[in-house]
Chains A and B, each alone.
Chain A
Amino acid sequence: MNILAFDCSTEYISIALQKDKKIKIKHIYTKLKHSEMLLEEILAVIKKSKLTLKNIDLIVCGKGPGSFTGLRIAMATAKGLADGLDIPLISVEGLFGYKNLSIKNSKKTIIPVIDGKKNRYYTIFLKAGSENSAFLDKSIENLEKILSDDNKYLITGPDAKYFFFLLKRKKNISLSNKKYFRIPIEEILKIGYEKYLDKKIDPPNEGPIYIRKSQAEEL
């Protein structure tokens, strides 16, 4: 089974392609040009594996949280491809890609962060492979308040470095290896495949996750 996965929740396009049970990945810096680059990059990755679009059996798409525009571009592209090729589409919460890291570091609470701008960060607390919180959209100060002295924390994710730098308290908190600073697209692909085996295919009205309330709603 050939599986194509992609995510645009950050300033990068992250693509994974599974062929003969081997996964190849590529992260491309976009300068916010997701819409121009996504399809081209997908086709390049597929071609490099000596496949064509018609050989793809399943599409997995990161559905956020993250860049508003990026999420919409990824989801729209995924829907278009899945519909046109008549193959299933499964969307996966991008930060769930860090569940595997939380299994490997089961004594620590994993906090993957994406800069949501305006001094807010999107995150979720993960512990031993499961969610330990809902998706959060909080300032650093408010996130620091949640941290407890009895736990150990591992900060990771696309904007981990900057977030860690800004953190005032560092007790019991460490920064992950930088190889986890890119969205773990191969893990997203695997989660998508597991959902496929569980027959959890996206319904037609599935859309990105926006955890930030619209400014219009807040007023």
Chain B
Amino acid sequence: MLGAGKTTLVKGIASALKIKESITSPTYTIINEYFGKKNLYHMDLYRLNSTEELEMIGIEDMIYSKHISIIEWSKKAEKILPKNCIYINIDIDESENRIFTLKGIKI
């Protein structure tokens, strides 16, 4: 959803990793890389069309590394995602509140 706060969430995660670079949307770049305490890979897979394309950009090296990958439109990568990934869903209610639903993590 547009304006839900995806980039804002990534900014928060990046600041926790002590990343100083400014965080921008990967809609056009597909993958943005940042280097902090851990590497952060922020991807938007909307424009990719096949599993093969994902493999060709080397996505597996990133998502199976010790680093952190945040994936928008992760449905496109369903087949290659690890079993233990965390899913975040952001909804907006009538009063413009953001409702985060987390799957795959215990708090």
> Measuring CB to CB, which residues of chain A are less than 8 angstroms from any residue of chain B?
11, 31-33, 67-70, 72, 117-118, 214-216, 219
Number of chain B residues close to chain A: CB under 8 A: 16
- B residues contacting A by CB (< 8 A) are 35, 39, 50-52, 55, 58, 60-62, 64-65, 67, 79-80, 82
Contact at B39–A31, with CB atoms within 8 Å?
Answer: yes
Give the chain A neighbours of B51 by CB distance below 8 A: 214-216, 219
Contact A32 B61 (CB under 8 A): yes
Task: Name the contact of A68 in the complex, choosing from B35, B52, B61 (C-beta under 8 A).
Answer: B61
Contacting residue for A33 out of B35, B52, B58, B64, CB 8 A: B35
Residues from chain A with a CB closer than 8 A to the CB of B67 are 31-32
Q: In the bound complex, do residue B55 and residue A70 qualify as a contact, i.e. CB atoms below 8 Å apart?
A: no
CB distance from B79 to the nearest CB of A (A): 6
A118 to B64, CA, bound (A): 7
In the bound complex, residues from chain A placing their C-beta under 8 Å from that of B39 are 31-32
Task: Given A67-B61, A215-B79, answer yes or no on A31-B50 (Cβ-Cβ < 8 Å).
Answer: no
Question: In the complex, A32→B38 CA distance in Å?
Answer: 11
Q: Which residues of chain B come closer than 8 Å to A32, judged between CB atoms?
A: 39, 61-62, 65, 67
Chain A residues with CB under 8 A of B50: 216
For residue A218, give the distance in angstroms from its CB to the closest CB of chain B.
9
In the complex, the answer to whether B55 meets A68 with C-beta atoms within 8 Å is yes
Q: Which residues of B contact A72 (CB under 8 A)?
A: 58
Q: Contact at A117–B35, with CB atoms within 8 Å?
A: no
